[in-house]
Chains A and B, each alone.
Chain A
Amino acid sequence: MKNYCAKSLSLLFLWLLSCSSPSKEPAIKVRFAQDPESLHPLSYGNAPALQILNYIYQSLLTVDLSNNSIQPLLAAELPTIKREDSVSYFTFAIRPEAQWDNGTPVTAQDVAFSLKMLHSPLLDNERWRDQYDFIKDIQFSKNSPKTFTLVCTGYTPEMKLMTGDFFVLPAHQFDPKGILASVPFQLIRQKFDSLSSTSTFKAFASSINQPGFARDTALVKGSGPYVLKKWSAGQSLVLEKKKAWWGNKVEAPETVLRANPSRILFQVLPDNAAALLALKTQQLDVMDNIPLVTFQEMKQDKKYQQLYNFYSPTSFDFVFMGLNGQNPKLENRLTRQALAHLVNIPQIISSLQGGLATPTVGLVHPQEKNFYNAELPQIKFDPEKAKTLLREAGWQQTSTGWQKNVNGRPQTLTLELLYRAGNSDFENMSLLFKQNAKSLGIPVTLQALESSQISERLESRKFDLYFRTLVSTPFSYNLIPLLHTSNGKEGGPNVTGFGNPETDQLLEKIAVEEHTAEKALLLKSLQKAMQEESNLIPLYFQQNKMAVSKKLDAVIISGLKPGYDLTKATLKK
């Protein structure tokens, strides 16, 4: 009997063993500092969400991170552009192989549906409505269902990327009843308010706004190479490569259509210390934004040198100190210039950034040699010069500090400096600035606030100074929102009150100028004007600090967000 039982059990084990799934190829493990929270293609709210969405959905055009060039992704080629007076036409053709997961082709109708989604009422799409307001209409080709033309208001160089920079969504999945298909794009734009009260749009909006489109693995699906396999909120996300992805069938695929890793695991580790522990125990293959001291220590350690490649690519994250030019104390530009002389930028870069930052004279990255004003000298740390400038601005040094009559009332030069709580770089920079200002007799109060509280204070103009990072790109120099005087009113994005009629003119010209030489001249003049006004004191462009496992080959490291491209990477066996 015993013998019989033993034989049966062994057979059972053998059967179980033969049934177990084949071992999967190991995943590439990437650290996320925060949970994506929502993967809705319209209402996602943070950088990790965008990073994931870029693996799942596709746009017509993309930026190749290896050379920062604009490349066609869903589109077969870059658009052909035709300009007529105040209108421009961008004609696209979608790749013939491009198709959705159910085998139906990606067509111009899907593009029209996606544009309608960006402008439909009752959806969470305010930011897109403003951003893509320039696309007036879409015209379909009679010859091909995959060809169409976007009709745009005016022409700016940024449109070369912007016209193809929105996710193309599957109409059959988001709108199975075809509600939007029957409403022309122009009508949605024109009758926005009246459509919002119709029952059809209300029903459509409630179906689009359902949480499933933000997190359900069955509904978060696009034409991209990956599907969302699993999402444990606050812990991890798993992306798996589609077995029958259309991009695999393309003959001689371009680099943008390559997707090598079969699985990518994103570990959500908000705490830096926990993430570093995971990195040191090789539970992560890719980690960015490593704190400086740890980065330097790991880079010097032979043990980690064998395990990881360390990179510090320069990024387009511009760090600056903002001054409130509308504040009576800082109204005079000489006062602002004096404060600029109290920031010791070389010291900040060498000691706080470990040399891993690029000094700059303005908003243009020094890497952009055409546009960067290299002739403009950097403002030097010079307390004596600051003193002279303060005196020229009408301030007088007394036993109680620097005093001046502002609007008929005596005012003492005391300043409050805002920065984001928890940002140790900003805290250290604030402490150094306070020390420098104190040596001159200017008391500075430091105020660490949450990001939303800082935004609130900036919008209501109740601030003196603040430290912030501005994420820029080399593709757009449309600085009108940030620097034009029309945006300087309370609530507008020009919080520092920068600008005068001349700089406004410069900004308007820069936004539409196509020729590199002319644009360079205009940008250089703007950088000069910004330095004279000193509403924004430029500090540096950050360098990312990354570690990538040596198990990975061909990871592309870039200065553009998210800083790396994993789709070309291969995992060594």
Chain B
Amino acid sequence: MRKSNILSPLSLAEKASIACLLLFTGAAFISQILVMQGAQVIAQPEQAYLAPFTSFEHFLGTDQLGRDVLSYLFLSCRTAWLLAIPPLVAASLIGVALGTIAALVGNSGWKIPMYRFFSLVILLLVYATMYPIIHFWPVFAESSLIHWAYYGSTLPLLYFLLFKEGSSGNRGKGKSITLAFDEWLQKIINVWSALPKLLLLLLLTAFTHFSLGTLMGWICATYWVLPARIARASVLQLKKDFYYESAQALGIPFHRVFTHFIAPSLKGPILTNFCFAASGLLGVGSTLAYLGIGIPPDVPSWGKMLANARYSIEAWWLLAFPATFLLASIFSLQVLGNRISAHRRQESVIK
């Protein structure tokens, strides 16, 4: 039987999509380097609304502030990329971790000794009390290192309290609390997925200052739900397979079970979801910029240029070029998502 291969001959549209995405990513990386060196699109109001293809200096014309459209669109690739890819990678990792844990431990598989549970509550209280001191006390206000140390210190402590030997199972002496992890995760997912993503992002951004980092955080907090659902469903299905039970019976450590059995079966659906979610996010990021929400005014974005196009009907280039860039990257991700999804279907039929 012919083995399905994801790298089997690509159609023209797929080749074009990959090329487009590579260009998009390349532009985003170069822009990031340029921004780190302090580059910005220079506004020259005297040269506002120059038509495209009339001068070599401003090949795609200029906008209402006399900024070069080509440079603006180039730097906007960074914004679009930063708002789509890193938060989605983080959201997928969080989703997979939560979904896998929920499927594996269920509602009764995670027990914490009472003393550890109370230590956790006290720890959270201490951190909540420290928050205003760390954030608003002038001594710490200017040092970002303190903030990193503050947030970073939670991770080892949480790991120690939740996962360290003796925290799971009932080897420890004394009473212990059973965490209904699966049930709680299901409830959170139900509430979270009841709200449309764009609406949720609009609500969340209203609480914080506009910055690219914050918006990335909110996107991450909004998009973990679907990967979590996919991971939970796949792992639950996998748990019933005989080879997984054999692996458990043989005492194969969890990390090997994860890398050899769980991860390969999750890869396909998560990647498909990633492509479609990323294409959706490009649209959402541009919509937010169009509405002037979440993204600071000095960060270039395709959506912002589309918003500026409303003021002049004659300046068609402010509408046409960012729309082309946006649509090209969205379609490329959709084509890629379709290919991965088709490949998975084919693979399951072959099986």
Contact indicator per residue, chain B 29-58, by CB within 8 Å of chain A (1) or not (0): 000000000001011011011000000000
Contact indicator per residue, chain B 250-261, by CB within 8 Å of chain A (1) or not (0): 000000000000
Contact indicator per residue, chain A 291-302, by CB within 8 Å of chain B (1) or not (0): 111100100000
Stretch at the interface among B100-108, B161-169, B187-195, B307-315: B307-315
Partner of A428, one of B49, B64, B210, B313: B64
Chain A positions within 8 Å of B241 at CB level: none
CB distance from A444 to the nearest CB of B (A): 9
Scan residues 438-465 of chain A and give those whose CB is less than 8 A from a CB of chain B.
438, 445-448
- Interface pair A293/B311, CB less than 8 Å apart: yes
CA of A422 to CA of B64, assembled, Å: 16
CA of A141 to CA of B321, assembled, Å: 75
Q: Which of A297, A428, A438 has the most chain B CB atoms closer than 10 A to its own CB?
A: A428
- Interface pair A435/B46, CB less than 8 Å apart: no
- Interface pair B298/A351, CB less than 8 Å apart: no
CA of A348 to CA of B64, assembled, Å: 12
Q: A293-B311, A294-B311 are in contact. Are A352 and B45 (CB under 8 A)?
A: yes
Partner of B298, one of A291, A294, A348, A446: A446
- Interface pair B210/A297, CB less than 8 Å apart: no
Partner of B313, one of A297, A431, A438: A297
- Interface pair A293/B65, CB less than 8 Å apart: no
CB distance from B212 to the nearest CB of A (A): 13
Chain B positions within 8 Å of A294 at CB level: 311-313
Contact-size category for B: 20 to 34
CA of A153 to CA of B43, assembled, Å: 54
CA of A456 to CA of B205, assembled, Å: 19
Scan residues 54-71 of chain B and give those whose CB is less than 8 A from a CB of chain A.
64-66
B26 at the interface (CB under 8 A from A): no
- Interface pair A424/B311, CB less than 8 Å apart: yes
Chain A positions within 8 Å of B210 at CB level: 447-448
B292 at the interface (CB under 8 A from A): yes
CB distance from A435 to the nearest CB of B (A): 6
Partner of A431, one of B65, B311, B315: B65
A12 at the interface (CB under 8 A from B): no
A542 at the interface (CB under 8 A from B): no
Chain B positions within 8 Å of A11 at CB level: none
Q: Which of A291, A435, A447 has the most chain B CB atoms closer than 10 A to its own CB?
A: A435
- B residues with a Cβ closer than 8 A to A are 40, 42-43, 45-46, 48-49, 64-66, 209-210, 292, 296-298, 308, 310-315
- A sample of 25 cross-chain residue pairs with beta-carbon separation below 8 angstroms, ordered by A number, consists of A292-B311, A294-B312, A294-B313, A297-B313, A350-B45, A350-B46, A351-B45, A351-B46, A351-B48, A351-B65, A352-B45, A428-B64, A428-B65, A430-B297, A432-B43, A432-B65, A435-B40, A435-B42, A435-B43, A438-B40, A446-B298, A447-B209, A447-B210, A448-B210, A448-B297
Nearest 5 Cβ contacts at the A-B interface:
A351-B45, A293-B312, A293-B311, A446-B297, A427-B297
